[in-house]
Amino acid sequence: MKLARLLKKKAFTLVELIIAMAIMMILIVAAMSMFNPVSSIIKSIDEDVVTNAIADSMTTYIHSKVNTCSTYNIDIYDNTSLTADASADESAAKRCKLMLSSIKNPTAESSYCMVLRRKDDTFQLYDFGKITSVAQFTARVNDIEKYALFNNEYYNDVDFRFTFETKSGWCKIGITSLERETGNVVVETRTDMFKLVNITSTPESNPVLKDYTTVGTDKNIVIFYNIIDYTKYTPGA
């Protein structure tokens, strides 16, 4: 008898099936919406971690280069001043000439240069290495992509803004990370501060560089620094 009743029982109608499927879809969407905020937060945290890692790697690189310098000069230049020759006032080449002329012991002391060039809405890092003449500096500026430390993708679609401050033998580097499209802060300023251990003449950085908002997006930051190799150094030479 029970089997007969089961056989007589009607199956779901098409309408009932559609309603059941609709209810199930609503429940699935509701469940997914509960997890979306969590996944968004995780994604945001992951992006911040990557951005911090990029910022830290750049500050660490600059720190490692200038920490033992005998002196440095950090200044801003527009594209014209960056590529102009040494006869032009306030050109990077003229500063290069001054840094080379400040070397008192050519056997032991050398001049070096790094550039934070404004490209693709961020400051990208280039290392020219040792500079022995103004002509060499100018040639490297004109072939600057050859000296890029990282490719474009490395910068993670973030506008990295730099600050530099020099005070009482200490150098302070800051990087603030902004969204390229909106200009909103992604990560607040991360700072690296270190003592210059081998300075022989006063290092300088342009006071404008203390605040990234005062550095125009049409500017480039050039870091000239001299280093003494004390294994070759002769006092008084």
DSSP per-residue codes, 123-180: EEEEEEEEE--HHHHHHHHHTGGGGBSS-GGGGTTEEEEEEEEEETTEEEEEEEEEET
Indicate the pLDDT class of residue 31, thresholds 50, 70 and 90: low
- CA angle, corner 130, sides to 149 and 119, nearest 5? 35
* 27, pLDDT greater than 60: yes
- Is residue 50 within 8 Å of residue 42, measured between CB atoms? no
Per-residue pLDDT, 48:
74
- Over residues 32-48, mean pLDDT: 50
Q: Is 62 exposed, middle or buried (0-12, 13-18, 19+ CB in 10 A)?
A: buried
Lowest-pLDDT choice from 6-15, 60-69, 96-105, 222-231: 6-15
Per-residue pLDDT, 41:
39
Mean pLDDT for all residues in the chain = 86
* 45, pLDDT greater than 50: no
More confident residue, 174 or 36: 174
Per-residue pLDDT, 145:
96
Indicate the pLDDT class of residue 210, thresholds 50, 70 and 90: very high
CA distance linking residue 195 with residue 206, whole number of Å:
18
Indicate the pLDDT class of residue 24, thresholds 50, 70 and 90: confident
Lowest-pLDDT choice from 91-95, 163-167, 184-188: 184-188
- Over residues 122-132, mean pLDDT: 97
- Over residues 97-101, mean pLDDT: 97
Tens-digit pLDDT profile for residues 181-207? 899 998 889 999 999 999 999 999 999
Per-residue pLDDT, 44:
47
Helix axes 92-101, 134-142, angle to 10 degrees: 150
Q: Where are the domains of the chain?
A: 43-228
- Give the pTM: 0.80
Task: Express as a percent the part of the chain with pLDDT over 90.
Answer: 62
Kindly state the tokens that stand for 151.
């490719």
CA distance linking residue 98 with residue 222, whole number of Å:
14
The number of helix segments (H) and strand segments (E) in the chain equals 5, 8
Per-residue pLDDT, 94:
98
